[in-house]
A and B are shown apart, each in its own frame.
Chain A
Amino acid sequence: MENLGSIGYSEEQIELMNVAASFCAEKSPIEKVRTLLEDAQGYDADVWKEIAELGWLAIAIPEAQGGVGLSLGEVVPIVEQMGRRLMTTPFADTTLAAQALVAGGTEAQQEEYLPKIAEGAVATLALAEAHGDWDLHNITATAKADGDNITLNGEKLLVPYAEQAEIIIASVSLDGAPRLVIIPRDAFGDSALRREQIIDETRRTYALKLDGITLPASALLDEAKTKAAFEHIHLTAVLLQAAEMAGGTQAVIDYTLDYLKTRKQFGKIIGEYQALKHPITNAYVDYEKARSHVYSAAHCFNDQGMGEIATRMAKAACDKVYGFAADRAIQFHGGFGFTHDCDAQLYRRAAIWHASQHGDGAWHRAKLADLLF
């Protein structure tokens, strides 16, 4: 078989995994997750501060710009543990915005923003639009040159943590070509933002009206790096999502197992029945496979070609098993499973959210077919 990726790990990765595992377990018990469902901001600002102090935002930022200069492979175990505890903060989105700057920013932009992000400034990306297309190059929002300025038009949707972000990097079409542009939070008023109702209640997104936003032309990311930046953003998003989904899958399987080991029906612990035992085992087996795909993606991410294959496989595998495991979790909890109080729904909703962003399993398999055949 052609080489489709392999597994390896760094000492840093394992150390981060262990630290993140205890940090996320401690800071994000399920009661805390549920309290935050009602919170306007959706995350704990103190926890965010601690994350910044731990230096996690700096991991994949180059040393020259105030970062640690490790790879995204070292970010993966952190995101995995966050997914496992349903701990939503703007961590993944901020990491992603930083990567957009690393791959596509001008030197001046990198100098200005990357050190701030490394220290804990929230940043985010505005990529999605009303057509719902996962292809990042399908852009209807526009930027128009106007002397030394550019004026934006249109609407971006599903912008994570736009309210809290110091900068938003948006995709726009400039003279018919896809471009990325940095929108500082003070470039628009509160009325340009509308908080959206999304399936995953643990996170926050906003619709952002671009109409009338005027920026200096220097807000545009480096034109020459545009193509590479879009590719890097997409694959990084997919990698981090896959990691988060793997963590969530592990948790929903564990949650369901706890129930199967204690709940009695017809005088027996229900976990004795093969009708429940076999599907949860199937979920577990698929989970371990998906997790291997994720670690392979983390390990091979920077390898030309192989990284893309491994990363798309990881998300396709996670999509399949997270959805299945969370779906069965609802079913196996019976009547309680149908309630908002049962945690199964939190995972089911998270799985739907992740499938909906940056491509579901079928979409990635289609991309893989193009790469493999």
Chain B
Amino acid sequence: MSKPSEAELKDFEAQADAWFKENTVTDPGFMLPLTFMEVSTDEQFDFLCDWQRKVYEAGYLGTSWPSEYGGHGMHPEFQRVATRAMKKYDGPIILNAIGIGWAGPLLMDIGSEEDKKKYIKGMLSAEDIWCQGFSEPEHGSDLGSAQLKAVRDGDEYVLNGSKIWTSLGDRAKYMILLARTSNDGPNKYAGLSFFLIPMKIPGIETRRIKKLTGEYGFVQTFFTDARVPAEGLVGKEGDGWMVAMKTLEYERGAKVNPAGGYYIKELDAMGVVDLARNSERGGKKLLDDPVMRDKMVEQMMEIQALNLNNQRRRMAPLNQDRPMGLAMMNKLARTEMIRDLTEFSLAFQGTRAGYYVGDENAVDDGYWHRSYLNSFSATIGGGTSEIQRNIVAEHVLGLPKGR
């Protein structure tokens, strides 16, 4: 596909700008989630499904994915332009992150022709919501120790065990699943296999888990003799670890996802400054307090650094020393920044930081508290920050594996 001309991109940009300006609803009258991991109520879910479908149908999601699978078949540059317009108008997040963010790119990479035909369009249109069954109750970030059993029986696999921390698990139609098909391999990783499975079948039950925020956002999933079709296997039996690691590359942002949209809202440093502007200390503006000013600048520098890193990682000559460094630290740096910033925002609120969601005196309806408490979903999910540090240390800095 040839690169579009400047004029074509400009036209498309004007078109996308106009569309997002016209169609973006930033305040539907209830709190919108900052990340796909914190969708809690039906009204949030329905609103975000509807939003994703509209963006897709207008051509601004899956813009560069092949049209035979439901994409719009355009050059990736157009997708970049569309996502930029979405951010510019502060559009809501794209809900089906695990579908179009991880599972979709994986299928494009190594999926069969049938799988692409069957799944991609539903992912993009938010008709089919996806979830991810990687973590287990006993293992957390140690995915290689997964125990959920998948036993081949004719054209089917029979699943037994449990997965946990499954975002959107009670609403999803499909799951990407890491399961154990053997215990006889040379190591624990060799016995794992990767499946695409339907969720709404006998033998699969979900139980909602109440989060530290007080909301419901993810589930534990129980598998009791659940029978899934064998064609759901991705790769060969025993390839599961390799396939899961590929998926995690997308999840951790090490590979740039070409489907577009965004799943985690980037916080705006100036928004935090605005919050601080309305606070007082000792009868004076909080922004006159030198300590708070200093901390505020540090937060802004942090946000700016990550934005710059994002630009720099696409510029090979500026990354010669450790080409994968910026990509591999992305998840760690970004999720920790959001946690830091949202925690810091509580310090502005004085006595009112004592309120929580639901009280009429809570600042911004408790948005900052909820954001802070929810921010841990990203510093724990997809491999904790501590695991991310090990990954950067071992794969970027070349330090030995150990404890």
Contact = CB atoms under 8 A, between A and B. Distances in A.
Interface of A: 1-2, 4-7, 9, 14, 17, 250, 257, 260-261, 268-269, 271-274, 277-278, 280-282, 284-285, 288-290, 292-293, 295-296, 313, 316-317, 362, 365-366, 368-369, 372-373
B402 A268 contact: yes
Interface in B241-298: 268-270, 273, 287, 290, 293-294, 296-298
B400 A269 contact: yes
Interface in B293-310: 293-294, 296-298, 300-309
Contact of B397 (A272, A280, A290): A280
13 contacts: A2-B270, A5-B308, A7-B311, A257-B397, A261-B398, A269-B402, A278-B389, A280-B397, A281-B393, A292-B308, A292-B312, A313-B304, A369-B297
B309 A292 contact: yes
B386 interface: yes
B190 interface: no
Nearest to B270: A1
Given A277-B393, A278-B386, A295-B318, A272 B402 contact: yes
Interface of B: 268-270, 273, 287, 290, 293-294, 296-298, 300-309, 311-312, 315, 317-318, 321, 325-326, 329, 332-333, 386, 389-390, 392-393, 396-403
B386 A9 contact: no
Nearest to B266: A1
Contacts of A4: 300, 304
Contacts of A282: 389
Given A1-B307, A369-B294, 20 more contacts: A1-B304, A9-B317, A14-B317, A14-B318, A268-B402, A271-B399, A271-B400, A274-B389, A280-B397, A281-B392, A281-B393, A288-B329, A289-B309, A290-B305, A293-B308, A316-B301, A317-B305, A366-B294, A368-B297, A369-B296
A15 to B, nearest CB: 9
A54 to B, nearest CB: 20
B392 A1 contact: no
B403 A272 contact: yes
A282 B393 CA distance: 9
B274 to A, nearest CB: 10
A249 B317 CA distance: 19
Contacts of B268: 1
A358 B301 CA distance: 19
B312 A274 contact: no
Contact of A372 (B273, B333, B397, B400): B273
A356 B294 CA distance: 19
Nearest to B288: A373
A249 to B, nearest CB: 12
Contacts of A296: 304, 308
Contacts of A281: 389, 392-393, 397
A369 B304 CA distance: 14
A151 B290 CA distance: 41
Most buried by A among B290, B294, B396, B401: B294
Contacts, number: 131
Contacts of B389: 274, 277-278, 281-282
A168 B390 CA distance: 50
Nearest to A370: B293
A274 B399 contact: no
B252 to A, nearest CB: 14
Contacts of B306: 289
Given A261-B399, A273-B403, A280 B393 contact: yes
Contact of B308 (A250, A295, A369, A372): A295
Nearest to A286: B305
Contacts of A366: 290, 293-294, 297
Nearest to A269: B400
Most buried by A among B268, B301, B402: B301
Given A271-B400, A366-B293, A373-B296, A284 B321 contact: no
Contacts of B302: 289
A372 B300 contact: yes
A250 B400 contact: no
A257 B399 contact: yes
Given A272-B400, A273-B402, A295-B318, A7 B301 contact: no
Contacts of B393: 271, 277-278, 280-281
A243 to B, nearest CB: 13
A261 B308 contact: no
A61 B332 CA distance: 42
Q: Which 6 A-B pairs have the closest CB atoms?
A: A272-B402, A289-B305, A292-B308, A271-B399, A369-B293, A365-B297
A292 B326 CA distance: 10
A284 B402 contact: no
A365 B302 CA distance: 12
A316 B309 CA distance: 17
B307 to A, nearest CB: 8
A290 B298 CA distance: 12
A2 to B, nearest CB: 6
B273 A373 contact: yes
Given A260-B399, A284-B397, A1 B269 contact: yes
A66 B287 CA distance: 48
A372 B302 CA distance: 14
A83 to B, nearest CB: 14
Contacts of B401: 272
A2 B307 CA distance: 12
Nearest to A278: B389
A290 to B, nearest CB: 7
A225 to B, nearest CB: 30
Nearest to B394: A277
Given A269-B402, A277-B389, A281-B389, A9 B315 contact: yes
Contact of A295 (B270, B312, B399): B312
A9 B312 CA distance: 10
Contacts of B325: 284, 288
